[in-house]
Amino acid sequence: MQDDVEFVMLGSGEKKYEDWMRHLESVYKEKFRGWVGFNVPVSHRITTGCDILAMPSRFEPCGLNQLYAMRYGTIPVVHSIGGLRDNIKNFNPYAGEQSDEGTGYASFLEHFLPIIYRVDMHPLLNLEKLMELYHGVLSID
């Protein structure tokens, strides 16, 4: 949490993860907000206000949040499973003119956190490359 990033988490599940979110919120008051439970209006507000939507779902037959993220111009980083794998085409910042064809990042869970870090911090993903990804995400019908 030393990096210049802020996290917002929304969800519910195992008690240990809910407690973990509450703990992080109490320790990192300026950097972390955890919302235990699910609330549709809150989820949309979070998605419209963030740069990256991380979806490490273990099971996701379809998934709507990654579609909402793309509509709002938020970069989805998803676990490559089910509907998430079907909806997200990996962005390649080295692809030149074809780089705007990507819609986010899909990976397996063991690569998930390094990809989020790379999206947010990688020097090659400068503003120009992020704008290419942003326009690619917004161009999806």
Residue 134 lies in a domain: yes
What is the C-alpha separation between 85 and 62, in angstroms, rounded?
A: 9
Tell me if 86 sits within 8 A of 96, measured CB to CB.
no
CATH number at residue 123: 3.40.50.2000
Give the Cβ contact number of residue 30 at 10 Å. Answer: 7
Residue 43 lies in a domain: no
Question: Structure tokens of 122?
Answer: 């990688």
Apex 15 CA angle, 12 and 18, nearest 5: 55
Closest by CA to 118, choosing from 132, 104, 131, is 104
pLDDT tens for the 141 residues of the chain, in order: 566 678 888 888 889 888 988 998 999 888 889 889 889 999 999 999 988 888 888 888 888 999 999 889 888 888 888 888 888 888 776 776 655 577 777 877 666 666 666 655 554 456 666 677 777 666 666
Same domain? For 1 and 32 the reply is: yes
pTM of the model: 0.73
